[in-house]
Chains A and B, each alone.
Chain A
Amino acid sequence: MTRTRRPIQARPTGRAGQRVTQARVIRSEWTKLRSVPSTAWSLLAAVALIVGVGALYSLLRVTRPPTDPAAVAAFDPTAVSLTGVQLAELAVGVLGVLLVAGEYATGTIRSSLAAVPRRLPVLWGKAVVVGLTTVVLCLPAALAAFLVGQSILSAERLDIALSAPGVARAVLGSALYLGAIGLLGLGLGGLLRSTAGAVAGLFGILFAPQLLAGLLPEAWSDRIYPYLPVPAGVAVTAVQPDPASLAPWSGFALFCLYVAVVLALAAWRLRGRDA
């Protein structure tokens, strides 16, 4: 350069330290997450579904309490109060999808990747933000759903204490499972780059394997069923595990492995393909 540059306005101070770091990208992604209305709506829907559906289902069950001893023994008050998690996963998964597919739809991805040319910190930043936000909001929601549900069920003495074996783990597991679903949506959004495609992919992964397994001969389907994504993932949310399913934490670990594979594919595509 032949001429010296003069700043257009006061130059940002401390510029030497101004490099792109993962922590800064996480802050940036947090700003992006909280600055669009769709995020608030998805998270509000998730919380409302967890608490609302749990309370409604508890009310439903308390009006028709189990009578015969076998049914009483099989009654799982924790599962009843946490029914809403099965619906909240759709809202959380869609939030994950929107976070990245939305950037492709609007073209914002180009500014994001121009600001962070190594690219992968953007994906990891989104993963941290969506994972933590989901768990931090869904854990109190699951706890509230549990407490509300148990107070409803206590009318027929069907309730269970949080301190009972496996109960606290199921409540915590529900929030962790939803966090992982958020990451699954994020990975699918990054892999497919289209909102419609990724939402379809999300629903496919959540529902299709169980349906397809049901078409197989029973001996086969019984054997593979515990290893399918959702049956493996929800093992951690159940107090009384299905004898056929995996142990709670091993099931959840397997589900996290599936999510990690999808995220790795998204990372590979983000890294290699033109934006």
Chain B
Amino acid sequence: MIEAHGLTKRYGDKLALDGLTFTVRPGMVTGFLGPNGAGKSTTMRMILGLDAPTSGSVTVNGRPYREHAAPPHEVGALLDARAVHPGRSARSHLLALAQTCGIRRSRVDEVVEAVGLAGAARRRAGGFSLGMGQRLGIAAALLGDPATVILDEPVNGLDTEGIRWIRSLLRGLAAEGRTVFVSSHLMSEMALTAQHLIVIGRGRLIADTSMEAFIAGAAPSLVRVRSTDPASLEAVLRARDVTVSGAEDGALAVSGLSTDQVGRLAGAAGITLLELTAQQPSLEEAFIDLTRDAVEFRAPTTGTLTTGGAQA
């Protein structure tokens, strides 16, 4: 359980976090989403007591992180997969972390095995790929068998197999009743993993919602319907007080009705249907809509890049 209350962080005159309040509950994967620079990593560092909030507070499993006697058992975190001394072996890195609170050597071997690094554990971490670094970071997070797991962008640099492994790992950890808090800037990835979403932009909370509610509320789901007689069909559907718009190929885009309802109405009116499909809104689009005003860095429209010759 992570409880943040009014977290605010000011760097000079820049407000990185602005009164962020949220709760991350155990037993499910909570996705932490936001555009680059939204304050996700800052929030995670504050949860771990690495950065001090300008105001506000955050507790993990009921206490401020610094007050835990054995932090690795309470919270396991992956903040930066590159944060390993390049000259040190993966095993030594984990062993040094384990020794701070007396975790056995055999546990180090267990987590190394669990993340699939057994073959590389004695190699210097400097030669690791980003994906191997992520696995090492996850091994470090799992060392203390923690009640709460915090991972910052864990799928970065992983291959398809690695991404699928992370997904099942996160779901498994949540199913065991742990609190799992995972940041990402990719909505599509979160949609497959998270059951709950916390979305921030420019240091402010934009949404704190279940994944289902987010998907449902993201955009009205559309039904695409093509028939031999679009005009009559439109008239039948309009009567039901729904929005209908025409597409260029004679199909209609209907919102407010399910495919079943459209099919029955068409059948009752004797209209022959050629195509009837439900179109889910793109989650990525919904996410972009939600955070549109909160994007910190945005590339200018492509035109300005290609017409720059005269200015140079």
Contact = CB atoms under 8 A, between A and B. Distances in A.
Contacts of B89: 35
Q: What size tier do the contact residues of chain B reach?
A: 35 or more
Contacts of A10: 110
A19 B51 contact: no
A102 B142 CA distance: 25
A114 B114 contact: no
Interface in B38-66: 45, 48-52, 65-66
B71 A114 contact: yes
Interface string A14-46: 110111110011011101100111100000000
Interface string B97-114: 111111110010010001
A7 interface: yes
B73 A108 contact: no
B101 A24 contact: yes
B73 A18 contact: yes
B147 interface: yes
Given A10-B110, A24-B100, A275-B50, A111 B83 contact: yes
A20 B26 contact: no
Contacts of B114: 8-9
Q: What size tier do the contact residues of chain A reach?
A: 35 or more
B30 to A, nearest CB: 14
Interface stretch (B170-178, B252-260, B276-284): B170-178
B195 to A, nearest CB: 14
A102 B27 contact: no
A93 B157 CA distance: 37
Interface of B: 1, 26-27, 45, 48-52, 65-66, 68-73, 75, 77, 79-80, 82-89, 92-93, 95-104, 107, 110, 114, 140, 142, 144-145, 147, 172-173, 176-178
Interface of A: 1-15, 17-21, 24-25, 27-29, 31-32, 35-38, 102-103, 106-108, 110-118, 274-275
Name the 5 nearest CB pairs between A and B, nearest first.
A107-B83, A35-B92, A3-B177, A28-B99, A19-B69
